[in-house]
Structure 1
Amino acid sequence: MAGVEAGYFVRALELRSGAELRIKQCDTGDVGCVVWDAALVLAKYLETSSFYRDGLHTFTGKSVVELGSGTGLVGLMASVLGAHVTVTDLEDMQELLNINISDNKHLVTGSIDAKVLKWGESVKDLPPDPDYILVADCIYYEQSLEPLLRTMKELAGKNTCIICCYEERTMGNNPEIEIRFFKLLQTDFEIEEIPLDKHDEEYKSEDIHILQIKRK
């Protein structure tokens, strides 16, 4: 993805502290180059009071892996909240991920780095049995469903909490893809949907769902 710096625009997301995550997006390129609505919804959900216990954020000190990170927004939010995060995507997304990590490192209270991961391939270079796996808007391409689920199954330990956020789409074959994904998912995982009233007050939509998933 040569030339990211030459062809980008910035999406700013205000934090509760008043600071801003400033995420660079490419004006050309793959779908991963854009901050999608589901990523915004998930990032802001992580900031909600649901994750605080005795004034401390649940993610503080925890290990987190994000799959299909794209611009890195969700993983960056987790690192701002105190988690030790590995954001992952294909080789051609690494430049953009590292630019966004560098641009926002002054807000990070945990840690964050980027690694190459192709779904369905070995996860040996990732933290084993992370506390959390984050997945935003990755249910849209039929050929990727089984590789994504293989990666989730291999990476998740019995205590790993997977938080998945996706936008429900009705165009083309998207409904069939979603049905197939959840059918496959239920083979090895238990699924609980987070009620809409638990989402961020501003960043929520009836078309965007947040799921909490655990190994059976």
Structure 2
Amino acid sequence: MVGDEGKLGEREEEDGGEEEEQIVEGLGLYKGKVRIVNSEEPSEETMLLWGIQQPILSKPNAFAKQSSLQLRLDSCGRSLSILQSPSSLGTPGVTGSVMWDSGVVLGKFLEHAVESGTVLLQGKKVVELGSGCGLVGCISALLGAQVILTDLPDRLRLLKKNVEANLYGDVKGSATVTELTWGDELEPFLCDPLPDYVLGSDVIYSEGAVMDLLETLVDLCGSETTIVLAGELRNDAILEYFLEAASKEFIVGRVDQKQWHPDYLSPRVVIYVLVKK
């Protein structure tokens, strides 16, 4: 099936299944296969994820360790060193001071997707929401994107440190750091021109933040913008709430783990691609 605006690729039926599952080749700028989430019944998606991936049966922190002062990761031909601030975790609401598996998975997913040709980041404008320690934004810049990393004002010091420490020498793209509170009016440079990609990892964490997040996503996205979000499967009710609300504005597709970086797979993580309806 081809969407009216050319956003959806071809539709397939899932082999061996009695019910037809909508799989499309490409959604927005992402050229890989995605499974379209049923906007009428988002509970189907959460039941499927928790039933098949069974996240609670696997151990968290396969790739990240919040008690460490830094995370080391090889990516884009260099060794990245991401500073963390474990002591800040004691502050209520502060989780961006350390890395989580979803951020590592998303960063390596983007690297793998660029190598396999399903994502093109060279010269693209990218806005990252909730950048935290900055790993995803740094990898995006190394892959050629013009990245704007954003977070709350009290998170920017650590974020800037990591950007400066890891983006040195010959970098294909660029990175700037700025504050952004979801739901607030956007600074003109964030949305003029509108970004090609909006990225986020672990940004769906509470019902209270969902509507502010969606307001910012709507403001940042035009008809040519593609959103890529990764998150850890901790609370099915919060994810279902997000999917139900997001489906009013966006087509939502889930990326199968077969298209992730083969060394960075986790049943506790999910990756979604969204485009405006």
TM-score (norm 1): 0.89
Counterpart for residue 137 of structure 2: 75
Aligned mate of 2:175, from 86, 103, 112? 112
SS in 2 for 1:61: coil
1:146-165 counterparts in 2 under 5 A?
146-165=211-230
The 1-side partners of 2:149 and 2:101 are apart by: 18
Counterpart for residue 38 of structure 1: 102
Q: Percent identity?
A: 34
Cα shift readout 1:131-181 (whole Å, capped 9, x = no counterpart) = 000010111111100000000001111110100101111xxxx22111111
- Structure 2 residue runs of 5 or longer lacking an equivalent are 1-66, 89-93
1:185-196 counterparts in 2 under 5 A?
185-196=246-257
The 1-side partners of 2:72 and 2:129 are apart by: 22
* Residue 213, structure 1, aligned to residue 274, structure 2: yes
The 1-side partners of 2:119 and 2:82 are apart by: 23
Q: Name the aligned partner's letter for residue 140 of structure 1.
A: Y
Cα shift readout 1:47-95 (whole Å, capped 9, x = no counterpart) = 11x32478x9710111000001101111111001010000000000110
Once structures 1 and 2 are overlaid, which stretch shifts more, 95-104 or 57-66? 57-66
Aligned mate of 2:84, from 14, 25, 46? 25
Do 1:161 and 1:212's aligned partners in 2 also have CA atoms closer than 8 Å? yes
The 1-side partners of 2:131 and 2:259 are apart by: 23
Q: Name the aligned partner's letter for residue 178 of structure 2.
A: K
Counterpart for residue 61 of structure 1: 123
Over 3 Å counting, the alpha-carbon distance change for 1:16 and 1:109 in structure 2 is closer
- Structure 1 residue runs of 5 or longer lacking an equivalent are 1-6
The 2-side partners of 1:53 and 1:200 are apart by: 10
* Residue 9, structure 1, aligned to residue 73, structure 2: no
* Residue 98, structure 1, aligned to residue 160, structure 2: yes
Query: How far 1:124 sits from its partner (Å)?
Result: 2.5
Over 3 Å counting, the alpha-carbon distance change for 1:193 and 1:57 in structure 2 is closer
* Residue 183, structure 1, aligned to residue 248, structure 2: no
The 2-side partners of 1:127 and 1:175 are apart by: 32
Do 1:57 and 1:82's aligned partners in 2 also have CA atoms closer than 8 Å? no
Counterpart for residue 88 of structure 1: 150
Q: Name the aligned partner's letter for residue 104 of structure 2.
A: L
Of the two, which has the highest radius of gyration?
2
The 1-side partners of 2:252 and 2:119 are apart by: 23
TM-score (norm 2): 0.70
Query: How far 1:109 sits from its partner (Å)?
Result: 1.9
The 2-side partners of 1:205 and 1:9 are apart by: 23
